Amino acid sequence: MNAMLARSVTALSQALAAKEISSVELTQLYLDRIALHNPSINAFITVDARKSLAQAKAADELRAVGKGGAGAGPLTGIPLAQKDIFCSKGWLTTCGSKMLGNFVSPYDATVIERFNDAGAVMLGKTNMDEFAMGSSNETSYYGAVKNPWDRGRVSGGSSGGSAAAVAARLAPAATGTDTGGSIRQPAALCNLTGLKPTYGVVSRYGMIAFASSLDQAGPMGRTAEDCALLLNTMVGFDPRDSTSVSREKEDYLGMLSARADGKPLTGLKIGLPQEFFGASERTGCTAEVMRLVEEAIAEYRKLGAETVDISLPNMKLSVPAYYVIAPAEASSNLSRFDGVRYGYRAPEYGDLNEMYFRSRAQGFGDEVKRRILIGTYVLSHGYYDAYYLQAQRIRRLIANDFVAAFRQCDVIMGPTSPSTAFSLGEKAADPVQMYLSDIYTIAVNLAGLPGMSIPCGFANSLPAGLQLIGDYFCEAKLLNIAHRYQQATDWHLRYPPEIG
């Protein structure tokens, strides 16, 4: 493997600044790898070498000595993979659906615009569960993503293409979105570091909507340091997203602590929810994953942190409440796909109604249709109070549990996913089993809190993730806690043995 492929974004940024390599060379290196490995992994839906190389060339010019490098930033010339949920001007933007199989976006999402302004190179659009609805990437119209650690297994979802791309070294880092765990769970299953920020921190403008009160974009990379670097570019107030939060900008990378011996995390209180670790609840998590999570927590104790037992009593209600709220919002958001202005239109129809009915029946896949139907039902006359309002009340109880918990601790830890990567097809026929694979991540979205997953070891050669949950707007603290662990361990540096 070319040594450049082993480097983090932070290291690549230094290599570009030192003129060790040009962005065109680096981008070509990754494009060649994509051409070689993507057919067996299916991490990308769209690659456009001409466009990527044009961006790389512009980045090299920006970094050219003659111009003094003015205007160049740390991401100038860095190739990045973008989840195909972000509208990207002139790029096919499918959201994993047949419905948008011909949708070349006429505009950029704010996230894409920010990366473009930073001089980053778009390496391609990554595969995902259709409209981000799934936990295995098997609902994509463009085929399942294969986990680079074992190609018979899922990469997780819905940001499974981004996760597989970074894990297989087809991209140095990527973006994802997380509505119920879609950054954290694939990060865990592919040995990556992934961060879902506090709701409202990253603009949702141009990010195709699934469940608007839960959706949030974030970085997926090899290290907390790389996630901090990407997050620096992604965050910021955006008047085009009515839920965007206006707050002072932080330098997430600059706030990471330098390496220190001894017990640098002395004073840090880690909350361990009995709902994750209690004897009766453990049945939901495999013994191997639980062992790795406990070993990671032991490592944190060695670094000086102390642990406190906490309780999130309404945790078990998060999956039921989510599967009312998310489908309800989805059914409303996806009503825009009607075959009139853009997207798929059925080839044969009689009247206008038939055009709607057939375009939607043919353009959406089974899981998306299921969720639209659930959402339509729970919002329909006579059921609204019993389902939708009740779910929103439970959402409040869940959020309150976290408020109480953060009075006792600085960060909450537990597993990201109850198991390592499962086999392709294993849960595809049973929606309920699939939904339960997000049991540890969903509550974080309901509360709107930031959450991370970091690599914490291997069970039968498959990676597992440790989840870190922080209080509102504590991204910097979470990244630093993750960074401390990565200074002391090397799980995050491992890459799939088969990927040469």
Partner 1 sequence: MSLTLEQVRRVAQLARIEISDAEAQTTLGHLNGIFGLIEAMQAVDTRNVEPMAHAQDLAQRLRDDCVTEVNQREAFQAIAPEIEAGLYLVPKVLE
Q: Is 266 in the site for partner 1 (CB under 8 A)?
A: no
Q: What are the Cα distances from residue 380, in Å, to 270, 372, 377, 391, 394?
A: 43, 12, 5, 15, 19
CB burial class (10 A; 0-12, 13-18, 19+) of residue 50? exposed
Among the candidate windows 21-29, 104-112, 120-128, 456-464, which touches partner 1 by CB under 8 A?
104-112
Give the nearest distance from C-beta 439 to partner 1 in angstroms.
11
Instruction: Pick between residue 213 and residue 307 the one whose CB is nearest to partner 1.
Output: 213
Please give the size of the binding site for partner 1, defined by CB under 8 A: 73
Give the nearest distance from C-beta 24 to partner 1 in angstroms.
29
Residue 201 near residue 216 (C-beta atoms within 8 A): yes
What is the contact mask toward partner 1 in residues 427 to 446, using x (rule: CB under 8 A)?
---xxx--x---------xx
Q: Is 332 in the site for partner 1 (CB under 8 A)?
A: no
Q: Is 21 in the site for partner 1 (CB under 8 A)?
A: no
Q: Is 103 in the site for partner 1 (CB under 8 A)?
A: yes
Q: Is 348 in the site for partner 1 (CB under 8 A)?
A: no
Q: Is 48 in the site for partner 1 (CB under 8 A)?
A: no
Give the nearest distance from C-beta 112 to partner 1 in angstroms.
16
3-state secondary structure the chain: CCHHHHCCHHHHHHHHHCCCCCHHHHHHHHHHHHHHHHHHHCCEEECCHHHHHHHHHHHHHHHCHHHCCCCCCCCCCCEEEEECCECCCCCECCCCCCCCCCCECCCCCHHHHHHHHCCCEEEEEECCCHHHCCCCCCCCCCCCCEECCEEEEECCCCCHHHHHHHHCCCCCCEEEECCCCCCHHHHHHCCCEEEECCCCCECCCCECCCCCCCCCEEEEECCHHHHHHHHHHHECCCCCCCCCCCCCCCCCCCCCCCCCCCCCCCCCEEEEEHHHHCCCHHHHCCHHHHHHHHHHHHHHHHCCCEEEEECCCCHHHHHHHHHHHHHHHHHHHHHHCCCCCCCCCCCCCCCHHHHHHHHHHHHCCHHHHHHHHHHHHHHCCCCHHHHHHHHHHHHHHHHHHHHHHCCCCCEEEEECCCCCCCECCCCCCCHHHHHHHHCCCHHHHHHCCCEEEEEEEEECCEEEEEEEEECCCCHHHHHHHHHHHHHHCCHHHCCCCCCC
Instruction: Pick between residue 117 and residue 430 the one whose CB is nearest to partner 1.
Output: 430
Give the integer Cα–Cα distance in Å for 281 and 287: 12
Q: Is 341 in the site for partner 1 (CB under 8 A)?
A: yes
For residue 82, which phi and psi values (nearest 5 degrees)? -115, 130
Instruction: Pick between residue 206 and residue 343 the one whose CB is nearest to partner 1.
Output: 343
Q: Is 245 in the site for partner 1 (CB under 8 A)?
A: yes
Rule CB under 8 A: choose which of 44, 115, 131, 364 binds partner 1.
Answer: 364
Give the nearest distance from C-beta 395 to partner 1 in angstroms.
4
Instruction: Pick between residue 80 and residue 374 the one whose CB is nearest to partner 1.
Output: 374
Among the candidate windows 8-16, 20-28, 61-69, 388-396, which touches partner 1 by CB under 8 A?
388-396
Q: Is 393 in the site for partner 1 (CB under 8 A)?
A: yes
Q: Position of tokens 């869940």?
A: 398
Six token digits for residue 454: 């970091």
Q: Is 136 in the site for partner 1 (CB under 8 A)?
A: no
Q: Is 99 in the site for partner 1 (CB under 8 A)?
A: no
Site for partner 1 in 148-187 (CB under 8 A): none
Give the residue numbers marked as catalytic: 83, 158, 182
Among the candidate windows 2-10, 47-55, 174-182, 313-321, which touches partner 1 by CB under 8 A?
313-321
Rule CB under 8 A: choose which of 115, 131, 356, 485 binds partner 1.
Answer: 356
Q: Is 102 in the site for partner 1 (CB under 8 A)?
A: yes
Among the candidate windows 155-163, 314-322, 403-411, 456-464, which touches partner 1 by CB under 8 A?
314-322
Q: Is 283 in the site for partner 1 (CB under 8 A)?
A: no
Instruction: Pick between residue 237 and residue 458 the one whose CB is nearest to partner 1.
Output: 237
Among the candidate windows 43-51, 76-84, 334-342, 408-416, which touches partner 1 by CB under 8 A?
334-342
Give the integer Cα–Cα distance in Å for 421 and 429: 17
Q: Is 274 in the site for partner 1 (CB under 8 A)?
A: no
Rule CB under 8 A: choose which of 448, 463, 465, 470 binds partner 1.
Answer: 448
Give the integer Cα–Cα distance in Å for 269 and 353: 58
Give the integer Cα–Cα distance in Å for 469 and 450: 6
Give the nearest distance from C-beta 368 to partner 1 in angstroms.
10
Q: Is 391 in the site for partner 1 (CB under 8 A)?
A: yes
Rule CB under 8 A: choose which of 91, 199, 252, 406 binds partner 1.
Answer: 199
Rule CB under 8 A: choose which of 79, 273, 339, 470 binds partner 1.
Answer: 339
Rule CB under 8 A: choose which of 396, 404, 408, 498 binds partner 1.
Answer: 396
Rule CB under 8 A: choose which of 1, 36, 287, 340 binds partner 1.
Answer: 340
Q: Is 350 in the site for partner 1 (CB under 8 A)?
A: yes
Instruction: Pick between residue 302 and residue 396 the one whose CB is nearest to partner 1.
Output: 396
